[in-house]
Amino acid sequence: MSRVITIASGKGGTGKTTITANLGVALVQLGREVIILDADIEMANLELVLGMEGKELTLHDVLKGYASIRDVTYEGPGGVRVVPAGINLETLKGVDPEKLKDVLSELFYSAEILLIDAPAGLGKDALSAISAGEELLLVVNPDISSLSDALKTKIIGKKLGCKVLGAVLNRAEFSNSEITVDEISVILDLPILATIPEDKNVRISTVYGEPLLLKYPDSPASIAIKKLAATLVGEVFTEEIKEEKGLKKLIKGLLGMG
């Protein structure tokens, strides 16, 4: 049975979908079978981040009873499988978000980890996505409004029976004006599982419709997301070891020892 993790933010614009997409790729790189489901039924953009727009069938069709969840599970970049929600507003007619939990049961044995990209806010769609997951991971920015909304989402998640794993601090600039990691942990009363730095490569990879981990695997944000993936599955992060090996290889080449 899959481990089902809903990734939510409360507030829009935190970079939650980018984190979800790249976390899925990072988990695949660790040898896990992963499916990412875009539960943002009204404002979907996961497929844009992954460069998978234009699919004929999407989650919209499943929630209208026109297709099965397996019909809309596609092979995505980096070996991750993806269930897109659909970006065509016309296909929203007749969609019932309350059916989400029922249709997800078909995926429970299809992958080791199922990541659900929840809509922002605490509307009907968001609550359906949160309740469909067993675990909840919050994505926050280092500002008061983001933390306030995340705190509300955490409370709702607990009431819906989710195990709240912790928070991911995204787009950190490490300036004196920002709320610190320790302060965020105290405010949310949660562990901060990862700190993702502000990284210009994130914006570039999104424009190209390619996951950051594949386009810029050694960028600061990529390394932080890989570390988060390792933390979630209880593995030791070894990126530093890989870099050291690469440095040793370079030195050997320069010295003619290769």
| Of 30 and 243, more confident | 30
pLDDT at 254: 54
Q: Residue 32: its pLDDT value, please? A: 98
The domain made up of 3-254 has a fold known as Rossmann fold (3.40.50)
Whether 240 shows a pLDDT value over 60: the answer reads: no
Q: What is the pLDDT of residue 234?
A: 96
Q: How far apart are CA 180 and CA 175, in angstroms?
A: 9
Write the pLDDT tens digit of every residue in 172-190. 999 988 999 999 999 999 9
Average pLDDT over residues 139-150: 96
Inform me whether the pLDDT recorded for 90 exceeds 60: yes
How does residue 255 score in pLDDT terms, banded at 50, 70 and 90?
Answer: low
Q: Give yes or no for residue 258 having a pLDDT over 80.
A: no
Greater pLDDT, 91 or 3: 3
Helix axes 200-208, 220-232, angle to 10 degrees: 90
Mean pLDDT of 201-223: 97
- Where along the chain do its domains lie? 3-254
Mean model confidence pLDDT for the chain: 90
Looking at the chain, the whole-number percentage of residues with pLDDT higher than 70 is 90
